[in-house]
């Protein structure tokens, strides 16, 4: 499997999905207030996307309870992060520690110059060095591909659509939609107000899964071998089921594997692709190399 072609396909898919979620936001704005409402919806989307751009790292760190770890405290971890960052051609991210027995890791930050890589106590204890390197390479892939920004924007836009959907339902029930004076159907407006947030959530989850596949491919290239990352994903998947993490569900999509295993509502609403499929693709890259 050609990792460059594979990555290009995921980028195109993400672009289409983000356009879809933005279109839903503008469409609901149009139903609420015509062209003026559509413009307001667009500006609203840009504004909250900007907020998520500036605050994504601090919000994720606070929600996960991560704290900085110095080079003196974890010299090997800092060395590995710095080496993989060099391979990726990006500045070395800040390194954080999460005091959790569950093995896991995540990256955050609005751009490579403001990035953070956070690892749990559990992953440092459980993971062999080569597999940990694969995990760190995956997280560096997220930073290199600017996935944190993309996923943060998608999450905030989805939340905005849910908020506007509630407004549209309220307007349809109590004030009528803007189409009432033209013989429009308020039931259709209510149906859209209900379905649009669901569609936005599905698109958000699809974006998250797409970026995980892309980070796997990028990380495999940075590590120089897809197999350690594949083995790490299997190990992490088994461990997270036995050691569920205590934390905020809003951080779920940031981690390399779902830290709250068992809470999902099915593949369509999953923030991560099935580990089995991720492993299969990585091993296919190994065979094709």
Tens digit of pLDDT for each residue in 67-78?
Answer: 999 999 999 999
Higher pLDDT, 183 or 185: 185
pLDDT at 5: 40
pLDDT level of residue 229 (50, 70, 90 thresholds)? very high
> Six-digit token pair at 288?
């094709």
Q: What percent of the chain has pLDDT over 70?
A: 59
pTM listed for this prediction? 0.75
> Six-digit token pair at 146?
């600017």
For the ranges 12-21, 194-203, 214-223, 259-268, the lowest mean pLDDT is seen at 12-21
Residue in this structure with the two tokens 């995921």, named with its chain if needed:
10
- Among the ranges 1-10, 187-196, 274-283, which has the highest mean pLDDT value? 274-283
pLDDT at 61: 84
Kind plus residue range of the DSSP H or E element containing 95: strand 94-98
Distances (CA, A) of 43 to 29, 38, 40: 10, 9, 5
**Residue 226 in contact with residue 285, Cβ under 8 Å?**
yes
- For 164-179, what is the mean pLDDT? 57
- For 176-181, what is the mean pLDDT? 47
> Six-digit token pair at 213?
């596949």
Domain range enclosing 131: 3-288
> Six-digit token pair at 131?
């597999």
H helix runs in 65-185, sequence order? 75-88, 121-126, 129-144, 147-170
Residue in this structure with the two tokens 């609420």, named with its chain if needed:
32
Q: Is residue 277 annotated as a catalytic residue, yes or no?
A: no
- The mean predicted confidence, pLDDT, of the chain is 77
For the ranges 1-15, 89-103, 201-215, the lowest mean pLDDT is seen at 1-15
Query: Catalytic residue among 139, 212, 252, 276, which?
Result: 139
pLDDT level of residue 54 (50, 70, 90 thresholds)? low
Among residues 136, 46, 134, 107, which one has the least CA distance to residue 251? 107
Distances (CA, A) of 242 to 105, 118, 124, 197: 16, 21, 17, 33
Q: How many domains does the chain have?
A: 1
pLDDT at 260 over 70: yes
Distances (CA, A) of 264 to 76, 215, 278: 35, 21, 18
Q: What percent of the chain has pLDDT over 90?
A: 40
Residue in this structure with the two tokens 């990028």, named with its chain if needed:
218
């Amino acid at each position: 499997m050609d990792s460059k072609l594979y990555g290009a396909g995921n980028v195109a898919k993400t672009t289409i999905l983000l356009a879809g979620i933005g279109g839903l936001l503008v469409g609901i704005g149009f139903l609420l207030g015509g062209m003026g409402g559509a413009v307001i919806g667009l500006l609203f989307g840009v504004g909250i996307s900007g907020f998520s751009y500036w605050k994504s790292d601090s919000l994720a760190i606070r929600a996960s309870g991560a704290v900085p770890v110095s080079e003196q405290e974890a010299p090997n971890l800092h060395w590995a992060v710095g080496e993989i960052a060099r391979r990726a051609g990006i500045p070395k991210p800040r390194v954080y520690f999460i005091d959790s027995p569950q093995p896991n890791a995540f990256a955050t930050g609005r751009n490579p110059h403001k990035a953070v890589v956070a690892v749990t106590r559990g992953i440092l204890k459980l993971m062999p060095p080569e597999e940990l390197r694969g995990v760190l390479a995956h997280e560096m892939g997220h930073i290199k591909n600017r996935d944190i920004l993309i996923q943060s924007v998608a999450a905030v836009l989805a939340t905005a659509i849910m908020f506007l959907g509630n407004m549209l339902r309220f307007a349809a029930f109590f004030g009528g939609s803007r189409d009432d004076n033209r013989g429009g159907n308020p039931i259709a407006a209510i149906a859209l107000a209900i379905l649009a947030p669901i569609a936005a959530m599905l698109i958000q989850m699809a974006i998250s899964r797409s970026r995980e596949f892309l980070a796997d491919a990028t990380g495999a290239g940075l590590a120089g071998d897809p197999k350690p990352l594949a083995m790490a994903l299997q190990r992490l998947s088994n461990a997270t089921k036995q050691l569920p993490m205590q934390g905020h569900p809003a951080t779920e999509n940031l981690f390399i594997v779902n830290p709250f295993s068992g809470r999902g509502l099915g593949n369509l609403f999953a923030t991560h692709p099935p580990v089995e499929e991720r492993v299969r693709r990585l091993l296919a890259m190994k065979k094709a190399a």
